[in-house]
Amino acid sequence: FHVIPTVSNVVPESCLLIVVGLLVGGLIKAVGEIPPVLSSKVFFLYLLPPIILDAGYFLPLRSFSENLGTILMFAVVGTLWNAFFIGSLLFAVCQISGPHLSNVGLLDNLLFGSIISAVDPVAVLAVFEEIHINELLHILVFGESLLNDAVTVVLYHLFEEYSALDQVEFRDIALGFLSFFVVALGGIFVGVVYGIIAAFTSRFTSHIRVIEPLFVFLYSYMAYMSAELFHLSGIMALIASGVVMRPYVEANISHKSHTTIKYFLKMWSSVSETLIFIFLGVSTVAGPHSWNWTYVICTLIFCLIARVLGIALNLIQTVFSMNM
């Protein structure tokens, strides 16, 4: 794939991995075995943390902080807009499409909308690097993709809890809105605490250089698990811990330890991403599906419309704020 430039320029690596997963799942099913399915527990506990830590630890902090307001607008407001816009319109489609979709409720559609609201900018960022796009556009896309993962996970869990209720009242909506900020800010607080502990610990590792990288991985994973234990945002905790610890850890550890952290994190996150996309393909083949062309086509159309409108509205708001 990487040896043939024409293929890698046209087909994103993630799409190729999903196709590989489809083929693997098809082969497993063809021989009469049950294809393995990626559980949410494995995803959230083992595959997601390395990806987020890699992005958070090597985050270009200065560019990110200078454009934090714009990034938050795209990541938080834009993701909320996508989830509610897509979910509401799909619910309307379910109500007018006959008996096949009438049993799909509003919360089910909002849950689905929250899942597909996050964007995967890997292919876009690869193109940016090839054409040497300006740093501002690069950090906006990268920063949005990093934070909207956290927003999407919080939204998903929120709608999942609503789905378990017999009836959603105004009080539940208000508490959900409040918990959205508590979960995000609480996760940041947990990450900052563990980042400070990691930075402080790195001052006393001069005689045990061999385990310096272990401290970075250990404290980062502890931040994620501690946040998840208290039902806070583990993603925000990982990002915050990586951002806080990196300047101090790099000043205290050896050059070899820094190189080990850098390449091991890149390898770890790459393996996790590969497994996730392959399992997506395998899971598509594994279970029974109820296919509905109306729902599928409307989903694709609404995704495109929501994305365009969300970006346009955010840009208008940003330009208006700058003029004010």
pLDDT digits (tens, 9 = 90+) for 130-150: 666 677 777 888 888 888 888
If you average pLDDT over residues 168-178, what whole number do you get? 83
98 phi and psi angles, rounded to 5 deg? 95, -175
Is 94 a domain residue? yes
User: For residue range 220-237, what is the model confidence (pLDDT) as tens digits?
Assistant: 999 999 999 998 889 899
Distance CA 210, CA 212 (A): 6
For 98: left if phi > 0, alpha if psi spans -120 to 50, otherwise beta; the answer is left
Is 232 a domain residue? yes
If you average pLDDT over residues 232-245, what whole number do you get? 92
| Mean pLDDT of all residues belonging to the chain | 85
Provide the 10 A C-beta neighbour count for residue 18: 19
Provide the 10 A C-beta neighbour count for residue 39: 10
pLDDT, residue 299, reads 92
What residue spans of the chain are helical by DSSP H? 5-10, 13-30, 40-42, 48-57, 61-66, 68-72, 78-96, 106-115, 122-131, 135-163, 170-201, 212-229, 234-252, 255-286, 293-323
Which two tokens mark 59? 């985050």
Which two tokens mark 310? 């969300």
292 phi and psi angles, rounded to 5 deg? -135, 110
- pLDDT value at 122 more than 70: no
Distance CA 261, CA 57 (A): 10
pLDDT, residue 5, reads 66
pLDDT, residue 7, reads 67
Sign of CA dihedral 144, 145, 147, 149: positive
Is 188 a domain residue? yes
> What pTM does this model have?
0.84
Where in the sequence is the domain holding 129, given as residue range(s)? 36-274+291-323
> Range with the lowest mean pLDDT among 272-276, 286-290, 298-302?
286-290
If you average pLDDT over residues 265-291, what whole number do you get? 86
Which two tokens mark 67? 């454009």
Is 148 a domain residue? yes
Is 23 a domain residue? no
CA distances to 112, 160, 297 from 96, in Å: 18, 25, 15
Is 14 a domain residue? no
Distance CA 238, CA 246 (A): 12
pLDDT, residue 131, reads 61
How many distinct structural domains can be found in the chain?
1
Band (291; pLDDT cuts 50, 70, 90): confident
Query: Whole-angstrom distance between the N-terminal and C-terminal Cα of the chain?
Result: 49
Residues 6+ apart with CB under 8 A from 12: 122, 123, 126
252, 205 contact by CB (below 8 A):
yes
Is 55 a domain residue? yes
Band (128; pLDDT cuts 50, 70, 90): low
- pLDDT value at 1 more than 70: no
pLDDT, residue 23, reads 93
